[in-house]
């Protein structure tokens, strides 16, 4: 029976390519992918939005290659390219930086290193005069004269593989379950649930429980009493019905939420629990940032935009800003608390980069599931993985 933790697409290693505009990033990405992923042109600034490609690299596994727009271009469009390029840093596991003699090369290297991202440097096109240049150091054993050397990126791939941070894989359900345990999963199918399918965190937990030899029992709030005819070893609920589930099950029955399980794997549960303490100190007029890792069309049952603000306003009349997808603010000063979503379709790197930014700015950060449990007075009773 398979018992390894599942890897979702969002947990693929992300390798991002940075460098001045027209330093040859797209050429290199295409050489590694073995196909035309990005548009290549000698005209500076051909790439504007980051271009993403999922590929399997022997010796590394599934990876997401991201070709960024780059930096060093003048004008409004250049500034926008830089903004989009900076946003890629948050999700990067390994950066490949093409050095081309551009004055901003050192600054970007510093930006990447400040975020603790491993940086693999490559000599790109010489910036002055458009001369094409790579060095033997980066591509040993090949004909190193000339740009065409990017047709042989094996040496670079070996360096990238060596730079990938080692990560201890862990189960979403951590040590909360053992083989043979009965686990009740409460999964409301309200208007926020996608039609005809089950959301990713629920699918991942369900699959993991099956892999670990547990007996999952799925239900909604309406069918929870039937699911509880035999006392389970654990109940995992959608955060939005935390309080109702807590009231409906025995007090000694372990309870947690999908969002908390995700927070432990993708974020830092201790930081989030610590951050939730700020919920008790918010005064009227305090500023709270609701941060979502993806962009989605909100509806009237949205957890971050509707339910958490409604719960919080019962304590204090605070002000909310919403940041969806890549719009997480660079400047966090002025916020009293950040409440982050479960990041179901986002990478660990993204959540961890945001936690780091929050802590650097001195702003407490928590996540939806923990905030809801705290606001409903049941955080103490919740099982943390």
Contacts with ligand SF4, residue ranges (CB under 6 A): 292-294, 296, 341-346
Cβ 112 vs Cβ 89: under 8 Å: yes
| CB nearer to ligand SF4: pick between 173 and 204 | 204
| CB nearer to ligand SF4: pick between 346 and 353 | 346
Angle at 339 between CA 335 and CA 340, to 5 degrees: 125
Q: Where would I find the H helices in the chain?
A: 25-33, 75-89, 105-114, 154-163, 200-211, 224-227, 242-248, 258-266, 269-276, 308-313, 348-360, 368-375
Residues 6+ apart with CB under 8 A from 351: 266, 267, 293, 340, 343
Residues 6+ apart with CB under 8 A from 58: none
User: How many Cα atoms within 13 Å fall on the side-chain side of residue 118?
Assistant: 14
| CB nearer to ligand SF4: pick between 82 and 292 | 292
Least spacing, CB of residue 304 vs ligand SF4, in Å? 7
Least spacing, CB of residue 354 vs ligand SF4, in Å? 12
Least spacing, CB of residue 293 vs ligand SF4, in Å? 4
Query: How far does the chain reach from its first CA to its final CA, in angstroms?
Result: 23
129 dihedral zone (left: phi>0; alpha: psi -120 to 50; beta): left
| CB nearer to ligand SF4: pick between 135 and 295 | 295
Angle at 264 between CA 260 and CA 270, to 5 degrees: 95
Q: Residue 4 gets which letter from DSSP?
A: S
| CB nearer to ligand SF4: pick between 118 and 329 | 329
Nearest-angstrom CA–CA distance, 61 and 298 = 35
Nearest-angstrom CA–CA distance, 55 and 65 = 7
| CB nearer to ligand SF4: pick between 227 and 343 | 343
Closest CA to 28 of 108, 120, 90: 120
What would you report as the CA-atom Rg of the chain, rounded to the nearest whole angstrom? 23
| CB nearer to ligand SF4: pick between 119 and 199 | 199
| CB nearer to ligand SF4: pick between 285 and 325 | 325
| CB nearer to ligand SF4: pick between 54 and 231 | 54
**The three-state (H, E, C) secondary structure of 285-335, written as one string:** CCEEEEECCCCCCCCCCCHHHHHHHHHHHCCCCCEEEEECHHHCCCCCCCC
State the burial class of residue 58 (Cβ atoms within 10 Å of its Cβ: 0-12, 13-18, 19+).
exposed
| CB nearer to ligand SF4: pick between 73 and 192 | 192
Least spacing, CB of residue 335 vs ligand SF4, in Å? 18
């Amino acid at each position: 029976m398979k018992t390894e933790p599942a890897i979702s697409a969002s947990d693929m290693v992300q390798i991002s390519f940075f460098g001045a505009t027209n330093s040859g990033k797209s050429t290199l990405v295409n050489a590694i992918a073995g196909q035309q992923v990005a548009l290549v042109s000698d005209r500076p600034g051909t790439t504007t939005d980051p271009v993403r490609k999922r590929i399997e690299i022997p010796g590394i596994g599934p990876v997401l290659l991201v070709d960024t727009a780059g930096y060093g271009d003048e004008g409004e469009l250049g500034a926008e390219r830089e903004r989009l390029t900076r946003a890629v840093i948050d999700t990067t596991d390994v950066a490949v930086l093409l050095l081309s003699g551009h004055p901003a090369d050192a600054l970007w290297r510093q930006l990447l290193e400040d975020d603790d991202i491993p940086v693999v440097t490559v000599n790109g096109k010489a910036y002055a005069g458009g001369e094409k240049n790579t060095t033997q150091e980066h591509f040993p054993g090949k004909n190193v004269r000339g740009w065409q050397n990017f047709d042989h990126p094996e040496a670079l791939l070996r360096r990238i593989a060596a730079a990938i941070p080692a990560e201890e894989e862990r189960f979403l359900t951590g040590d909360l379950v053992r083989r043979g345990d009965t686990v009740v999963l409460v999964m409301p199918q309200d208007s926020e649930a996608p039609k005809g399918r089950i959301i990713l965190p629920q699918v991942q937990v369900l699959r993991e429980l099956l892999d670990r030899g547990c007996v999952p029992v799925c239900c909604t709030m309406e069918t929870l009493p039937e699911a509880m005819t035999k006392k389970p070893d654990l109940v995992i609920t959608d955060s939005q019905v935390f309080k109702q589930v807590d009231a409906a099950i025995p007090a000694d029955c372990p309870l947690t939420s999908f969002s908390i399980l995700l927070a432990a794997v993708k974020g830092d549960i201790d930081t989030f629990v610590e951050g939730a303490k700020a919920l008790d100190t918010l005064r009227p007029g305090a500023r709270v940032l609701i941060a979502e890792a993806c962009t989605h069309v909100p509806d009237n049952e949205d957890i971050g935009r509707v339910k958490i603000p409604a719960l919080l306003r019962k304590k204090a009349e605070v002000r909310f800003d919403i940041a969806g997808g890549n719009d997480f603010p660079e400047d966090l000063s002025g916020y009293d608390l950040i409440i982050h979503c479960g990041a179901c379709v986002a990478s660990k790197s993204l959540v961890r980069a945001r936690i780091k930014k929050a802590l650097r700015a001195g702003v407490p950060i928590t996540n939806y599931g923990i905030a809801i449990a705290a606001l409903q007075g049941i955080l103490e009773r919740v099982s943390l993985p």
